[in-house]
Amino acid sequence: MKLSLRQRTEPEVNLTSLIDVVLLLLIFFMVSTSFVKQSQIAIRLPEAESTAIVEEVPLQIDIMITESGTYLVNGRELINNRAETIRNALQKTSGNNSNLPLTISADANARHQDVVTAMDVAGRLGFKQISIATVNDPVE
């Protein structure tokens, strides 16, 4: 029995459709790309003749109480720990705006009376948004 071998034909790759797709993609990207040419305008900005110092009213007030009973209002240490000094510092810092949120954070070894004094002064000034900051111990 004689088996005849067929001649193998080489497969043809038709590149016409591939070229069409590549050209369509090229045209699509060229049309959809926006070329912005920014014009340059010479602007002469005005200059200030005097510098006025404006004190900004903070968005929040922080009272920190150290272990030794020292008060810090927004990072500024008070000269003593009397209630009048705390009241004056809060009024000056808040600009007499008692609607600002107030946070009291005290050292773990600070006296309870120092925290109560700060809360009392803030309450008498009309602060309603008083919160006490705490720190959670990491879970072991």
Place of tokens 């005097």: 50
pTM for this entry: 0.55
Neighbours of 16 (CB within 10 A): 8
pLDDT interval class at 33 (50, 70, 90): confident
Of 130, 107, 132, 118, nearest to 84 by C-alpha is 118
- Per-residue confidence (pLDDT) for residue 72, from 0 to 100: 92
User: Is the confidence at residue 138, as pLDDT, over 60?
Assistant: no
Pairing, β 130-133 against β 102-106: parallel
Burial class (CB in 10 A: 0-12, 13-18, 19+), 86: buried
CB 62 within 8 A of CB 103: yes
Domains in the chain (CATH in brackets) are 61-133 (3.30.420.270)
User: In which residue are the tokens 């009376």 written?
Assistant: 113
Q: What is the pLDDT of residues 67-104, one digit of tens each?
A: 888 999 988 899 998 999 999 999 998 888 888 899 99
